[in-house]
Chains A and B, each alone.
Chain A
Amino acid sequence: MKVDRRSFLSFVIGGAAGTALSPLPWKLMDDSSIWSQMWPWTPVPPDGEVIYEDTTCSLCPGGCGISVRKVDNRAIKIEGKKGHPINDGGICLLGLSGLQLLYGPTRIKSPMKRMGERGEGKWQKISWKEAATILSEKLGEIRNKGEAHTVAAISGAGGGTVPALLQRLLTAYGSPNFMRMPSQSSAEEPVLKGVFDEEGRLGYDLENADYILSFGSGILDGWGSPVRMFRANSQWKDNKVPVIQIETRLSNSAAQSSRWVAINPGTEADLALGIAAVMISKKMVRSGNISGFRGWKRELLAGYPAEKVSETTGVPVDVIVELAKGFGSAKRPLALYGRGKGVTAGSLREISAITALNALSGNINEEGGLWAVSQADYIRWPKVDTDKIASAGLSQPRYDGAGEDSSGLAQSLIHRIAGNINGEEPYQLQALLVAGANPCHDLPDSQGVNAALSKIPFIVSFSSFNDETAAMADLLMPDHVYLEKYEDVPVCAGLVKQVVGLSKPVVSPQFNTHHLGETLITTAKMMGDTIAGAFPWEDYETCLKETLGNKWDSLMETGVWEDSDVNTVAKKVKPAPLDTKIVTAEGDVNSFPLLLVPYDTIRISSSYIGSTPFMVKTVADTIIKGKDGFVEINPQTAEANGLKEGTIATLTTPRGGARVRIHLVHGIQPGVIAMVRGLGHTAYDGYLADKGVNINDLIGPVEDPSSGLDAAWGIRAKLDKA
């Protein structure tokens, strides 16, 4: 049988007819359409039971209540908790995207010890037992040499039992060197001690105020408790409350205010004093709450006439008078202090001037006013029983010299750490424990800080994330993230009433991490003797439960405890002498003709918790473009320097240099340039690392001689076309 062409064609035609009458083509078509609509590699979240679990957000000091939507055991979404006293259903960008921190690639997944050189990124996974042994043996070794004081700890800005346990461990061990990262709370310390002459914290009764004078406070840029601020701002708009934003730059807060008053950078204190002088001369003062008022008044009127103040601040005389009239005639005026997010302390002169302005309006501890209240004091543990070595260690001077200055206004002067280590005084640090803080990125003069840390022979990081400081560590003992643990969250953040939130585990720990409280208790117990004795609790949860006492039940039930019965600590204000030293920007005017000022935005996290990928996506391409960060500059200044929009330039300050792009903005004074805080990370993930410039590389601390605190508000700089 010969198969010829015709037979073959016939076979093919028969085959085609048969195929058309079989399900094969039609089924394949259907299947391929299903396949192409649902690529098997597209992640599909598993189905399951939907529940909401409430907890407290501790990503910033704001202390918002959150509801986490879960499907079975997986957290899906974070929402603001309705009815919460701080945020009542609202949430910020960082809080909303917290799950990216929980599930994201920046977590440290187990305890590790360093294998390669420092910063090389070579680690070996170890067991928790081994990690605890390394830590306790190393600490024991230093202590046995009688050098307990050479161990230091840096804690994050938050309060509560965990930082208190770390401080307690240090005290029982014999080191006075417990330091905190700068925060709004630490920035308030000198106000209370230096101006009110008491210990405590500040509360702003924003919701009841009817005239707001903000001295650069980022009302919508993350000052205080951000969601509360958004809500207060809406309330002010509804009630037509004037909000005056005094700021060098047209920030978001300034743009949303009723009036933006542009001011020469660093002259806020002069303006406050100028306004005070006009109020006094116009007899618009309502309070005798200033001690030594007569003498102060005489000096003020002589030293701060409106014309002179206008010259210093760049604010026209009529505006100064108008502000004084507005502030003086309002029923419940309130002046806010703290630039941007309010984290940097500012000078004593500035603090004093703004507080005095509040005192003159008679709003201290009044409705809609400024409150000086006591700290929440629920942590009442017995005093640590120190042994001989510990007592000897504790009698050594603090590494940063805090509390020993003539002023003694601050509990911690962490900005000194880099200078002291690099200058090898007062002694050499042998070990550093870092918890909930990222000093290598967040402290001013970060290059100096990095150089300093590289001189410390043993660094332990308890960070949950692979941040810049964790990269410098020798031992990593990662803490749970906030959604995995119990912890108390005392909220200051400018609230008048005392509020303590409870963080509860919403999901089980995702990785081999341990609660920091637990790690500290275990370490203390391993070290034995009086150190173990200072930690009588079986575990952290017992410690927390006992510490919170009768608050525990209500916290478990509602997630938040509040006490509206406010305990005020002082009413009288003692303004700093008018000849208090002015803090100027570092650098020489001739070599550095421009002034660089940092600014904050709610879209970029500028503390230990890095910005989430979601946040970075919301940042305009006039702030970061690709890997380049921008500086804002007035078109006039740009033209004088031969710079155009988008040009690449070299920005140099006395502390360092960086490659930047130019963004022309009319809302900034000629001669001043501004750069955002919180960028230029080298660690974390691809969403955050190598984007923009870390302004802390360019700016260093400038100590206010009257308070010892870092009062840098800017630095002199120059821009050269690259």
Chain B
Amino acid sequence: MGTLDEKAKDVMDDGVAHTGRDKDTGAGGLIILFFIIGFAGSMVLGWVVFPKLLYSQKQQPFNFNHALHMEEVDNGCESCHSFREDGSFTGIPKLAQCTDCHEETMGESEDEAIFVEQYVWKEREVPWLSYSRQPDCVFFSHAAHVIGAEMDCITCHGHHGETETTRPYEYNRITSYSRDIWGHNISGIAKNTWDTMKMDDCAQCHKKAGVNRTSSVQTERDACFVCHK
């Protein structure tokens, strides 16, 4: 026989060998094992390692006690986080507002000393890291929600006003935005209204509240540019 026949025989032998291996249940278990290893490994990577890699932390310049301040003021959150005359929201207060009371050190905490010595006396604005700042492409009006729809602060910001310390500021390494926007649960599932602040959350709440605006003629819903400038 020529070489062609020999090749044909080899192929046949291979076929026989395979059939034999398939019958070996030990090898099938190994395949499942590897599937499980791959599956479990990637699940750990996706659910545990990835969030740790994705987010980085920064400490606030010094600790701020919201609970303590809430006791001192008469008008709740709005005492410091107020609206300007033109309806725009001030957000985190500027130094000038703090120095109304904190011209000199009040109390004996270390944080107070840092604040007064490093910022008040040196007339430097405190570089607070805002947990709730939306990406730049998002236009959010506090006035429309707080004054117009009479929503309370807790709906979006949770019980931030009752905290005694400022937790570390976590931010996304890719987008550089605060972790609070996506939410602390990496799955994006929210138990409370304030857990996540993505567009879906806006839409959900608007739907629930029956906000029926039709700024877009085509879609008969709100147009993109209402929020995305």
Contacts and interface: CB of A to CB of B under 8 A. Distances in A.
Whether chains A and B associate is yes
Contact of A15 (B41, B51, B88, B174): B41
B39 A18 contact: yes
Contacts of B35: 10-11, 13-14, 17
A1 B188 contact: no
A44 interface: yes
Contacts of B136: 38, 44
B46 A15 contact: no
Given A23-B186, A27-B186, A18 B175 contact: no
B135 interface: yes
A11 to B, nearest CB: 4
Interface in A18-37: 18-19, 21-24, 27-28, 30-32, 34-35, 37
B54 interface: yes
B31 A7 contact: yes
Contact of B42 (A10, A22, A32, A34): A22
B135 A23 contact: no
Given A31-B54, A49-B88, A49-B90, A38 B137 contact: yes
B187 interface: yes
B90 A15 contact: no
**Chain B interface mostly:** helix
Contact of B47 (A22, A38, A49): A22
A35 B175 contact: yes
Interface string B14-28: 000000000000010
Contact of A19 (B33, B45, B177, B187): B45
A32 B173 CA distance: 11
Nearest to B186: A23
Nearest to A25: B46
Interface residues of B, number: 38
B93 to A, nearest CB: 12
B43 A18 contact: yes
B208 interface: no
Contacts of A83: none
B86 interface: yes
A561 B69 CA distance: 49
B32 interface: yes
Contacts, number: 103
Contact of B40 (A7, A16, A18): A18
A24 B46 CA distance: 5
Contacts of B54: 27, 31
A624 to B, nearest CB: 34
Interface string B39-64: 11111011100110010000000000
A34 B181 CA distance: 12
Contact of A10 (B38, B90, B182): B38
B34 A10 contact: yes
Contacts of B41: 14-15, 18
Interface residues of A, number: 33
B84 interface: yes
B176 interface: yes
Contacts of A50: 84, 86, 88
Interface string A138-182: 000000000000000000000000000000000000000000000
Contacts of B84: 49-50
Interface in A527-575: none
Contacts of B86: 50
B158 interface: no
B39 A15 contact: yes
Nearest to A3: B34
Given A22-B47, A23-B186, A38 B88 contact: no
A581 B186 CA distance: 90
Interface in A34-48: 34-35, 37-38, 40, 44, 47
B34 A7 contact: yes
A34 B30 contact: no
Contacts of B31: 6-7, 10
Nearest to A28: B174
A27 B43 CA distance: 14
Contact of A38 (B38, B42, B91, B175): B175
Contact of B30 (A7, A17, A22): A7
B37 interface: yes
Nearest to A22: B46
Given A21-B43, A23-B187, A32 B30 contact: no
A35 to B, nearest CB: 5
B73 interface: no
Contacts of A15: 38-39, 41-42
A14 B187 contact: no
B132 to A, nearest CB: 13
A22 B51 CA distance: 11
B45 A24 contact: yes
B133 to A, nearest CB: 9
Nearest to B174: A31
Contact of B50 (A13, A23, A40): A23
B36 A14 contact: yes
B45 A1 contact: no
A455 to B, nearest CB: 49
Given A31-B174, A32-B174, A50-B86, A18 B182 contact: no
B193 interface: no
A15 B91 CA distance: 44
Nearest to B51: A23
B46 A18 contact: yes
Contacts of A32: 174
A364 to B, nearest CB: 50
B139 to A, nearest CB: 11
B45 A13 contact: no
Q: Which residue, of A17, A27, A38, A44, has the highest number of chain B Cβ atoms within 10 A? A: A27
A255 interface: no
A10 B46 contact: no
Contacts of B30: 1, 7
A619 interface: no
Contacts of A27: 50, 54, 182, 186, 188
Contact of B38 (A6, A11, A22, A49): A11
Interface in B112-139: 135-137
A49 B88 CA distance: 8
A34 B172 CA distance: 11
Contacts of A35: 174-175
Given A27-B186, A50-B86, A50-B88, A11 B40 contact: no
B46 A34 contact: no
A12 interface: yes
Given A10-B32, A11-B34, A22 B43 contact: yes
A56 B32 CA distance: 81
A209 to B, nearest CB: 42
Contacts of B137: 37-38
Nearest to A45: B136
B26 to A, nearest CB: 10
9 contacts: A6-B27, A10-B31, A11-B35, A11-B38, A18-B40, A19-B45, A21-B46, A23-B50, A44-B136
Q: 8 tightest A-B contacts by CB?
A: A22-B46, A14-B38, A18-B42, A15-B38, A14-B35, A14-B39, A24-B46, A18-B39
Interface of A: 1, 3, 6-8, 10-19, 21-24, 27-28, 30-32, 34-35, 37-38, 40, 44, 47, 49-50
Given A38-B137, A49-B90, 11 more contacts: A12-B38, A17-B42, A21-B43, A22-B42, A23-B47, A24-B50, A27-B54, A27-B186, A37-B137, A38-B135, A50-B84
